[in-house]
Structure 1
Amino acid sequence: MSGAFDALRTQLREAAATFADGPDALEGILLGIVDDVDRAQREPLEIFPVCHHSPASAIAMARRLRQKQPKVVYLELCEDMAPLLTELRNCRLPVAVQAFATEVEGFPAEWSPLSVVAPITEASAEYQAIAYALETPGVELVLVDRSSDHVFQWEAGEAEPADPDAPPAEEEAALHGDAIGVEIGDLRPRFGELEEHLLRHGRVRHWSEWWHQYVELPLGDSDHDAYRQVMLLIGSLFRRLAPGDPRRVRVDEDRERYMWTRMREHLAATGADPADCLYVCGAFHAASRVAEFGVHGTDTFEIGPPSASKWQHGLIPSSNAAIEAQFGLAAGSVSIAATEWAKNLKRTKVQPFRLAGQAGAKKKPGKTAPPVDPAPTGPSDKLSGFLQRPPVVDRLDEAELLGWSVDIVRAARRNGYLASTADAIAVFETSILLAGMRDRAKPTPYDFQDAAITCIEKDAVPGRRDVRRLVEIMMGGDRIGQVGYDALPPLARDVHDRLAPLELKLQQRGVQRALLDIASRPELAQCSDVLWMLRYLLPHGAARPIMGERRLGERPIQESWDVALGTHQRALIELGYEGVSIEQVLEQRLRSAAYGPHATTATVLEAVEDATLYLRSRRLANELGTRALEVLATERSVDGAPEVLRRVRRLLAYYRTSEPVLPPWIESFVKTGYAHYCTLLPTAFTDEDATIDQVAAMLGFLFSMEGLALSLGCDRAQLELAFAQSHPQEPAKLALLWAAQVQLGQLSRAELRERCDELLGNPLVVPVYPRYLSGFVHALEPVPGLTDFVVEAVSNAFRRLPDPVLLPWLPSLISTLRSGGAELAPMLIREAGRIFPDRLAALDEWVPPWLAQPAPEAVQPRRTPRGSGAALLAAHPATCDAVADLLGCDGMWQTADPGGAGAELLGRYPETAAALAELLAKP
């Protein structure tokens, strides 16, 4: 066999000497390629080189399998994915076999979750091999490529991070998520200048078009030997001209060593004859030069152990667009390949292999053709004839091209284009013209696509789809796969079973409306629970409420949902890798958020609320509440104070109305929070990083929780001491401090009004007066009773300030109120509506209530006989002792004469004496 390519070697050696400066460099490359082909041809275990999603490879594979009928098929695919291949019967292609790991050990935590996918289409050689092995009795399918764990061990360490500024992928293109793609036969030049040279001289735009024109079409009708030798030639050429990236070369060679080591292990364990085996791999790996190559290669390669990561496996839906986006193929190339596959089947009469029970498969498998063994003398040199043969000139199929032209005009009309019969004629003629300019007698789908864009799209796209997309749809469209019910993980099947009362086609893509009348059908309450949990766990749009909401302490009556589980099937399947039920997954997510390294008090309280809202789990809520208490005790900032206040208030209101007693954790949280915020309050008033809303939230927590905190044993002196140590300089925080002092009784409203009048009367302070008002507006959170005073402060500013001062000051006021008090503005508006007149005519005579207050009448001192006060106190010592206790006075009773100090004190304060007398006179 070694002499089969001697004539070709002689011709290449003469060509190298003629066209190169010296025979060494070029001759070494050309003769090395022939040696690679010869070596692979002489291997006892037949190597079948393929290219991913290539119709020519699929046709050649189906033909060879029916001829050879091997007993063992070795396939280049991750070895840990083997148990899932039988589930392909329950799916509609294209789908992807996925390995998924959420519990990552041995890899950086930021890589989690790890995901590897291997997409499979019907027009692919790997599917033909899988279907043959699974449907033919006595045939063993062995996956020999590295495991999913080794994919990340070898490649992910050098992977480039995703571009955060990249535009979001389309829905169909995002079906694989951010998974690493694994495919059979990644056959593309890795030498950029070589690819550019091929595209330029081939007069094509991208690699997919070059491959279709110069490889797919010529190999579509070739025999087995010619196909193998040409594919080995291309693989060896691209391999020898690839740049010498050490990491890429190491990974490629390690994969080849891995696969040949696994095959020799299997041959030794089973005693299988290599002549009865078939090795299906990419053409790039078929022309390998590693020492482990072949049945008789060395056994020096040691396969490292996998990491401790726990891998889950399943099938996820895929699509033509997802495959193109993940592997860098031209848009529409996979759809065109599927169309070419269907045409090749009709032309060659090759019977493909399909899994029984799959969409498009026959109920009973057809009869297998009798084996046709190849000639025993071995393959001859088919490369010389293939390389010297002139290109085949295909005759123009006018009927096919005319049908394309009519169909694209019809599709363009439906999508808003003003296309006519003249455009169909123009597309027809332009396709022939473009093919002639590119040295092609028969227009390819790519020529037709360019002609349609030129003649129909012109300069505007009236609808959602452009002409390029319309051509793709017409050629077969973006076929989207589906994983059948039986192939779903237990969690996904459980979701479908629990949503069965809705009577929806959950496997169907698109949005479906679900109406839940829970009042008349109480069993739908369980469906509502599932939908709310799915809304929390799945991406936006998978389950979207149209009517109805879920709040603490409320029960739903009616709900309306938009459900699109078929569209988001991948996300639902990946939930199944995290647990056996959505409740378990939700609990894990909540624990992960609460115990994560970046967890804050607000995030943990959110987890507590979600556990109560969606799971109704008192046990989990108590556990997470205790965690919130721990996180609060360690925080040294007030960044999350507003969110903490809102969530604690909601939880307290819920527990007070639904529980007989408060949970211990929330009582401890209130006590700890009271002391915590009292400690941080003086610093927050002076810290420039602490915003006004954060300080207001701290005060809101202290004032609203004060009663509960004091009843639980807190000391109010902590709060008074915190205010004594607070000395803010910023106007908004100073106004907030004044409002808090009014709430504490340290400052009266009259004194606060005087301070505001002083600010308005000081021309140096007037420009920053809006910031004081911002502080007063934020003070409505802890001190809502000051709403009328804030309305008064704003009104006084408009009443007192002249227009030259007010007009430049007004935009600042509006922007300050909008940015800093948007949530509290409704309170001001309601109060202003209550105070101001409701008619314009009454405004002229209207007097503000704070200006209409009558002056306090002078109190005439009431003369009391000296000694009557002392006699009154002496007559009722118990009452006096009670009042003294309330006032915090300690002392002993002393005897005093009528003219003593007590009578003199009561004479000085006759109102107090009169009030005590009236109190004692009541029965």
Structure 2
Amino acid sequence: MTGTTEGTFAALRTQLREAAATFADGPGALEGILLGLVDDVDRAVREPLEIFPVCHHSPASAIAMARRLREKQPKVVYLELCEDMAPLLTELRNCRLPVAVQAFATETDGFPAEWSPLSVVAPITEASAEYQAIAYALDTPGVELVLVDRSSDHVFQWDERGTRDAEPAETDAPPAEEAALHGDAVGVELGDLRPRFAELEEHLLRHGRVRHWSEWWHQYVEMPLGDSDHDTYRQVMLLIGSLFRRLAPGDSHRVRVDEDRERHMWTRMREHLAATGTDPADCLYVCGAFHAASRVEEFGVHGTDTFEIGPRTATKWQHGLIPSSHAAIEAHFGLATGSVSIAATLWAKNVGRTRVRPYRLAGQSGAGGPRARKTVAATAPVPELPAADRLTGFLGRPPVLDRLDEAELLGWSVEVVRAARRNGYLASTADAIAVFETSILLAGMRDRAKPTPYDFQDAAVTCIEKDTVPGRRDVRHIVAIMMGGDRIGQVGYDALPPLARDVHDRLAPLNLRLQQRGVQRALLDMTGRPELERCSDVLWMLRRLLPQGAARPIMGERKLGERSIQESWDLALGTHQRALIELGYEGVSIEQVLEQRLRRTAYAPRATTATVLEAVEDATLYLRGRRLPDELGTHALEVLSAERGVDGAPEVLRRVRRLLAYYRTGEPVLPPWIESFVKAGYAHYCTLLPTAFTDEDATVRQVAAMLGFLFSMEGLALSLSCDRTQLELAVAQSHPRDPSRTALLWAARTQLGHLSRADLRARCDELLGNPLVVPAYPRYLSGFVHALEPVPGLTDFVVEAVSNAFGRLPDPVLLPWLPTLITTLRSGGAELAPLLIREVGRIFPGRLAELDAWVPPWQAQPQADAEAGRTARRAGAGGGAHALLVTHPATCDALANLLGCEGTWRTAAPGPSGAALAARHPDTAVALEALLASG
């Protein structure tokens, strides 16, 4: 403001000197502080470039801003907002407020990797002075809007993680999950005006008889300044900003950052004035009241130019608009629940009461009530007049007591009871009367003639909520909704990044309102409408990329080699619009983003073979083509060769089996990478097997997975020139001491043919017959259960071993082991349980009456036959083989046909008693006998 003199605040200075002398017994620090406040205000008022101090989301600031813009009609508006966010502001007309301007970076260059991703948001609501300035500048011809605050890159350059001052939160601040619309972003709040001296805030709250800072501001600043003139508003806001600044803790990182921001902003403004030649009298500087009372040397158009703005890092920043909400703003900046909603309601009332025409961007969606008034043509500027001392009169004026509006309070009381009943509270008319009377009582106790929304909120909690909350909303939340609700913004289609628009276009055949919040059901019949198959591909990729709940399949699944012909989805893309927008910062299509994320996962420094194979599987599932799966598969081979542990063996086995099954059924030949992977994996696990058997860090499940890989891939590995001798040597060199691993080794030797089924059964019988080993027998059984992974042919033997344990183990040994068996099957053997269940169903009788007469198959054969069999095996191709072939002539004929042999049976008795074919081929007879004995 021009035309002011040094003696403008002379009367106020005299009063403050007298007050300091009276309360401090003479001049001193108090006088310096009080007179310093006036000096700060006088300095800011006399600045040629008009400074307009504001408080964020303050209806009084918004009303004063709209009034001042119509009076002054500035040609340049300098705004305290990140300078790199300027191109986004024109897109606000395509959105429904509140929204947040966001700067986002996924890949950092110059910042610690653990900070990634970087995100900065600046929320904007209708009841904010900065929105009035933006709307005026963008819709008024010849007006330039210049953002002068530090860039998003400098926000993190000046950030010191772990040393920043903690932001005090309100006592009833909303839960952290309500800030999900902003995520983990750093909030940049224009007009952050709150005491940074804890004792000062506590003093103000106690003497103001309020519970939190939002209520104090509403009662003692918002209401008195709602109808004030421009000079009074400006001087009071400057005084508050100076007070909070002078009483802030000194020598902290936050103070240094604040001063650097002020130096940055004044440097940018002087650069712009020098470059354009604009008269400072035609400009308006909109900033927080805390920064308006700055004492840095760079302050003002005649300040020093000693501040050097450092260069930005090489980090690539993406910018966009994301939806915001009242609750998200409250949670992000530590405000009281419902404070932003109450501010929006008060803004609508002030617009109607003061008849100030607010500015609104042309085409802005969500118009309604007095806020939707059309912006009229600019009027002629009002001549500037010298600013008088308004502070003395304002500070000496007694508070104006508003009369009680009984109709308004009664309407609130009735409405809150109605809303409480809808949310499960047993509220009645008596509760409405109680809320009405209690509101008046609380206002009187706090020296107020008219209850504020906060008084009413406290009264409603006291009279209705009592002890319990029957639903998901408490009374405080109900009152906040009733006072204006948690208004949630929306980014319009035209303001979305290309990726988000592409998703909406590709899902257009679903005929859903995808920008609408809430869950919508999508039904896809790919048989009747083949074009919906493309929509299905998009939905499955969104399910992979977006948070849980954005796209949830109800019916249908996607696996390797399988695609559903009908699907049902629950979609909530409007609710998760922020996540979809942030995908647009990473690429121009969801396929590109998915490919980048898969590459990032596969090539991460700590990526394991299992994670790389998972990326291969996802690339095969969601992306068409073989280029990326082949590339990632080749990388999986490199990662496997570098691993020295077996922690991921179970996952590697599971995924390789799935990929092999898919390629064998869907491709004419196997990809070269998977052949190389099987060949390298066979040699790799053979090398690690002896160590894994004795390694205490390796679990039985991991060793079993290694054997499963070796045995299930053995045929393919041998066809790729692997040597089976390597596996046999690895098993021969394994000498475990743990009972479960010993059982696993026995199973492996049985699979290799080094241990017969009869010898294995004899070893188990020996264990049960040794009293010293009986307590450890359940651990052997656990090893046999895990052995079903590499040797599924032992399923009947495992059932036999478990049955023998139940029949012969004493209860003190058996009962404590049962929980271990159950947990083993549940955690590590979920896929093995069906094998045991099917085998049990095949062996055991199906009816209870048959159980008494039932004889287990392993006990049906006489012991003499078992001894004869063992004697025959030791003797070679003797009479046992001859008798066996005579007993089963059909088997011998089938084997002869398979080998291409011709011959007839020669018998010396009426029945078949011998075979010349068996005599001519004794090796075949021995092999057949061994095969039947093992099966």
Give me the TM-score of the superposition, normalised by structure 1. Answer: 0.92
1:80 matched to 2:84: yes
Counterpart position of 1:574 = 582
Q: 1:432 to 1:281 in 2, by over 3 A?
A: same
1:800: Cα distance to partner? Answer: 2.2
Counterpart position of 1:425 = 433
Q: 1:210 to 1:915 in 2, by over 3 A?
A: same
Instruction: Measure, in 2, the Cα distance between the counterparts of 1:91 and 1:432.
Output: 40
Match of 2:404 among 386, 396, 399: 396
Instruction: Measure, in 2, the Cα distance between the counterparts of 1:918 and 1:23.
Output: 117
Q: AA paired with 1:249?
A: V
1:464: Cα distance to partner? Answer: 1.6
1:65 matched to 2:74: no
CA contact (8 A) 1:176 1:318 kept: yes
- Could you give the per-residue CA deviations for residues 470-516 of structure 1, whole angstroms, max 9, x where no partner exists? 10000000000000000000000000000000000000000000000
| Contiguous gaps of at least 5 residues in structure 1 | 864-878, 884-908
Counterpart position of 1:894 = none
Counterpart position of 2:159 = 155
CA contact (8 A) 2:164 2:253 kept: no
Q: 1:254 to 1:158 in 2, by over 3 A?
A: farther
Counterpart position of 1:534 = 542
CA contact (8 A) 1:356 1:364 kept: no
Counterpart position of 2:355 = 349
| Contiguous gaps of at least 5 residues in structure 2 | 168-172, 881-895, 901-914, 926-935
1:761: Cα distance to partner? Answer: 1.0
Q: 1:597 to 1:33 in 2, by over 3 A?
A: same
Q: 1:771 to 1:169 in 2, by over 3 A?
A: farther
Counterpart position of 2:772 = 764
Counterpart position of 1:901 = none
Counterpart position of 1:794 = 802
CA contact (8 A) 1:319 1:478 kept: yes
CA contact (8 A) 1:770 1:816 kept: no
CA contact (8 A) 1:99 1:314 kept: yes
CA contact (8 A) 1:692 1:733 kept: yes
CA contact (8 A) 2:78 2:286 kept: yes
Instruction: Measure, in 1, the Cα distance between the counterparts of 2:853 and 2:677.
Output: 53
Secondary structure of the corresponding residue to residue 579 of structure 1: coil
Q: 1:7 to 1:830 in 2, by over 3 A?
A: same
Secondary structure of the corresponding residue to residue 850 of structure 1: helix
Match of 1:654 among 651, 662, 679: 662
- Could you give the per-residue CA deviations for residues 522-574 of structure 1, whole angstroms, max 9, x where no partner exists? 10000000000000000000000000000111232000000000000000000
1:498 matched to 2:506: yes
Counterpart position of 2:222 = 216
Range with bigger deviation, 813-822 or 460-469: 813-822
1:440 matched to 2:444: no
Instruction: Measure, in 1, the Cα distance between the counterparts of 2:378 and 2:266.
Output: 31
Counterpart position of 2:561 = 553
Q: AA paired with 1:559?
A: E
- Could you give the per-residue CA deviations for residues 666-721 of structure 1, whole angstroms, max 9, x where no partner exists? 11100100000000000100001100110000000000001111110111111011
Matches within 5 A, 1:180-329: 180-329=186-335
1:319: Cα distance to partner? Answer: 0.2
Instruction: Measure, in 1, the Cα distance between the counterparts of 2:306 and 2:784.
Output: 79
1:584: Cα distance to partner? Answer: 0.2
Q: 1:32 to 1:706 in 2, by over 3 A?
A: same
Secondary structure of the corresponding residue to residue 851 of structure 1: helix
Instruction: Measure, in 2, the Cα distance between the counterparts of 1:156 and 1:422.
Output: 55
1:51 matched to 2:55: yes
1:365: Cα distance to partner? Answer: 4.2
CA contact (8 A) 1:771 1:816 kept: no
1:375: Cα distance to partner? Answer: 4.2
Instruction: Measure, in 2, the Cα distance between the counterparts of 1:861 and 1:690.
Output: 46
- Could you give the per-residue CA deviations for residues 120-145 of structure 1, whole angstroms, max 9, x where no partner exists? 00000000000000111111000000
1:413 matched to 2:421: yes
Q: AA paired with 1:395?
A: R
- Could you give the per-residue CA deviations for residues 248-299 of structure 1, whole angstroms, max 9, x where no partner exists? 2211111001000000011111111111100000000000111110011111
Q: 1:673 to 1:861 in 2, by over 3 A?
A: closer
1:53: Cα distance to partner? Answer: 0.3
1:368: Cα distance to partner? Answer: 2.8
1:472 matched to 2:483: no
- Could you give the per-residue CA deviations for residues 149-169 of structure 1, whole angstroms, max 9, x where no partner exists? 000001254566999xxx995
Counterpart position of 2:495 = 487
Counterpart position of 1:367 = 376
Match of 1:840 among 835, 842, 848: 848
1:714 matched to 2:722: yes
Q: AA paired with 2:514?
A: L
Secondary structure of the corresponding residue to residue 684 of structure 1: helix
Q: AA paired with 1:595?
A: Y
Instruction: Measure, in 2, the Cα distance between the counterparts of 1:841 and 1:441.
Output: 87
Secondary structure of the corresponding residue to residue 471 of structure 2: coil
Match of 1:592 among 596, 600, 603: 600
Secondary structure of the corresponding residue to residue 141 of structure 1: strand
Secondary structure of the corresponding residue to residue 23 of structure 1: coil
Q: AA paired with 2:284?
A: L
Instruction: Measure, in 2, the Cα distance between the counterparts of 1:644 and 1:834.
Output: 32
Q: 1:681 to 1:251 in 2, by over 3 A?
A: same
1:20 matched to 2:24: yes
- Could you give the per-residue CA deviations for residues 287-332 of structure 1, whole angstroms, max 9, x where no partner exists? 0111110011111111000000000100000000000011111111
Q: 1:169 to 1:531 in 2, by over 3 A?
A: farther
Instruction: Measure, in 2, the Cα distance between the counterparts of 1:6 and 1:804.
Output: 96
Range with bigger deviation, 270-279 or 813-822: 813-822
CA contact (8 A) 1:641 1:698 kept: yes
CA contact (8 A) 1:774 1:817 kept: no
Q: AA paired with 2:248?
A: A
Range with bigger deviation, 532-541 or 150-159: 150-159
Counterpart position of 1:895 = none
CA contact (8 A) 1:66 1:368 kept: no
Secondary structure of the corresponding residue to residue 3 of structure 1: helix
Secondary structure of the corresponding residue to residue 563 of structure 2: coil
1:565 matched to 2:577: no
Q: 1:806 to 1:114 in 2, by over 3 A?
A: closer
Q: AA paired with 2:363?
A: G
Range with bigger deviation, 621-630 or 361-370: 361-370
Secondary structure of the corresponding residue to residue 322 of structure 2: strand
CA contact (8 A) 2:60 2:222 kept: yes
CA contact (8 A) 1:354 1:361 kept: no
Counterpart position of 1:42 = 46
Instruction: Measure, in 1, the Cα distance between the counterparts of 2:366 and 2:729.
Output: 80
1:609 matched to 2:617: yes
CA contact (8 A) 1:101 1:112 kept: yes
Q: 1:809 to 1:628 in 2, by over 3 A?
A: closer
CA contact (8 A) 1:512 1:564 kept: yes
CA contact (8 A) 2:178 2:331 kept: no
1:798: Cα distance to partner? Answer: 1.8
User: Aligned residues, how many?
Assistant: 873
| Same amino acid, percent of matched pairs | 84
Counterpart position of 1:873 = none
Q: 1:159 to 1:196 in 2, by over 3 A?
A: same
